[in-house]
A and B are shown apart, each in its own frame.
Chain A
């Protein structure tokens, strides 16, 4: 989906030239010629087709053309860029081309890239930032397999497969609870995922020391400690926090050998439900706890984003779709009821759950631009005369020379451009975060209406990214220009980038609130 001329006009963006109109209609990377100047707007328009990597490559081209126009570009480099772009989109490689632009450095070949990373947008740092390592997907315990196959061979000597089979055969399968009985504390269902099979519950022994590291959220005891771990950090009620802290460790007194592993599981589950009940919020708060434990959602979103990075379109709605989940639309306006005041605590808990689920956000702070003032002569004429003489004698300007023109040196804007690149990266990451949040919600209830939120957030993120790229490019193009000519352009561009960073923070917060609020609809 590309931005139309009409949208461009509404957004106050510069119109593309008439000669480019036909080409814009079918804009694609193949139509761009080597050495051709590509504006950030065109880059943005192509971005949905190809993902953020495309923006990087196109802006690299922009930078190269800027260099050419200032007499520093070279044809070999332009050819190299052209080749690398072709490789990138035709071959589907995630590796970035080996390009050094506008005073930037780095080898451009980091070991592993996140799907949202754009590399060097405006020249970059001398030292490339360390590439974040991808977390390995945590392998679930054997329990998960046991759920799928009751006849599975026991993997753990501690399990009582034969005895469980005997009980299951004589008692019959456990029926589900009737919906009409889901009242009171039975609304807190998050704990149930860890207690889905008697195979995981009945054990030969209860060794308290083995419980300390029991953090698997699908383990009967691990589930209780995981929920409590979340409440310990994020519950609003202090008693709930204190109880959750005791359960999350878990305190040794709770793990009594006499009542066995099953007894410990019951006690931990009971106290976890108590902690949830003390916090309150019913089903919505319970959904929040379930979301917080859905750690896989992030990795599913990340995997889907990697797939999309190869083909393009790394945006939240597409990531969710690629991960195999559907998001529901908002209902008809009449069907929507305004959020009740008493839902606010559980909405807050939902926000916390989404944050708990996702890696920590690292939206960069954009520094102010520092324009050095020209040296002024000393107020004492005698000292000033001596200074001038010393300057001349040590190879400086003669007092009769005109003062050097103050220009926008690359060093002045390098930190800003570096942060702007990081900001665009974070915007791409926000797309994956939103998708992960949507996946976590869809796993709990696929009918929660969140598609609208995703669409709005996606659009806003793209607008923000476009704004940052445009301002960054303006700054980059202005490199070397006299400050007198530029007037307040550098400060204005930096202010706008800073505003975009603030907007990203606000957008993240709004999106999480909106997604959490949707659980109440």
Chain B
């Protein structure tokens, strides 16, 4: 098996994804596009599949398609078109030219090639029978080289089934996506699929079933230093712990929100962390600590964060004043203000 065939056979999930990207870079240097344009185009397709889909990579794909057409490789041009349609149709259906799409599908049918790509493109671009096309594609995507596209297809299928009110079907699809992520040891995909499962379960009112997924996804997100996922998952988990009176876990998550929220500049997550810690102080019969934390946050974050975030802290202080009574609150509040003035 030559290097290019090996590259095309590599699964584009988990650790082998990085390996595939590396190999495609190596091959891109080795292959002369003037003498071996077909090989160069195949490498470009692999690079596209191994990378995140962005407007830039989609634009590169369009350029590759023009090149393939120019070179007379209609089969490669058709595959590129189908991959482009499959991607663009998922996010921006209006950008799909129906005539061009139909031509690509017809060409693929005539060539008797790219059945999977045709199903994926149809699922993305045609509003009817999306689930049927995705299921048909997934049936044929058992080989490792399809892992990345299969993972995405399972997530898409879950969304389609969810929209069609097939909630058990949607959950099964998400679980299949999770299986793939675990099989290829891809933490990023695991975080995504677990988050989707958890949100799906929360929507169904099954928060306690969602909790293990949230915990595992949050642990992975922290390990991957994925602050966005960390903030999101902690924000969902923290109220669950609070409602279960799991104070230690809630406190830990509040601290995580303070750090990850500040790193993302999501100041509402930081405020949420402060309010949670303050509430825990109150629960532990420490009203002075509860007030002091909010006062300290309000004073220290002024001008550094949106006024809206400060307003939330002020609103919470007012709530505590109402809850504790004016006299008790004002005593602790004065102390906290004085302490902050001196520091």
Contacts and interface: CB of A to CB of B under 8 A. Distances in A.
B91 interface: yes
Contact of A167 (B54, B207, B263, B314): B314
Contacts of A201: 311-312, 314-316
B311 A174 contact: yes
Contacts of A175: 302-303, 307
A191 B311 CA distance: 13
B246 to A, nearest CB: 12
A271 B275 contact: no
B95 to A, nearest CB: 8
A178 B159 contact: no
Interface string A227-246: 00000000010110111011
B249 to A, nearest CB: 14
A199 B317 CA distance: 11
Interface in A254-310: 254-256, 258-263, 265-267, 269-271, 273-274, 277-278
Contacts of A183: 265
Given A242-B196, A274-B266, A192 B319 contact: no
A271 B236 contact: yes
Nearest to A188: B266
Nearest to A260: B319
Q: Main secondary structure on chain A at its contact with chain B? A: helix
Contacts of B303: 175-178, 181
A29 to B, nearest CB: 42
A274 B228 contact: yes
B239 A345 contact: no
A509 B93 CA distance: 13
Given A184-B265, A242-B200, A342-B56, A166 B231 contact: no
Interface in B302-322: 302-319, 321-322
A445 interface: no
Contacts of B235: 267, 270-271, 274
A195 interface: yes
B127 interface: no
Chain B, interface size category, equals: 35 or more
Nearest to B333: A170
A202 B298 contact: no
A330 interface: no
Interface string A436-452: 00000000000000000
B128 interface: no
Interface in B54-69: 54-56, 59
A393 interface: no
B116 to A, nearest CB: 20
Contacts of A344: 55, 92
B27 interface: no
Contacts of A160: 318-319, 321-322
Given A258-B242, A274-B232, A202 B202 contact: no
12 contacts: A163-B318, A163-B326, A174-B307, A184-B264, A201-B314, A204-B322, A266-B275, A267-B238, A274-B232, A277-B264, A345-B91, A348-B94
Interface of A: 160, 163-164, 166-168, 170-171, 174-178, 181, 183-186, 189, 191-192, 194-204, 220, 236, 238-239, 241-243, 245-246, 249, 251-256, 258-263, 265-267, 269-271, 273-274, 277-278, 341-345, 348, 351, 509
- The 9 A-B residue pairs with the shortest CB-CB distance in the complex, in nearest-first order: A201-B315, A184-B265, A202-B315, A195-B308, A202-B318, A262-B316, A236-B91, A270-B268, A269-B268
Interface of B: 54-56, 59, 90-92, 94-95, 155-156, 159, 192, 195-196, 199-200, 202-203, 205, 207, 228, 231-232, 235-236, 238-240, 242-243, 257, 261, 263-269, 271-272, 275-276, 279, 283, 298-299, 302-319, 321-323, 326, 330, 333, 337
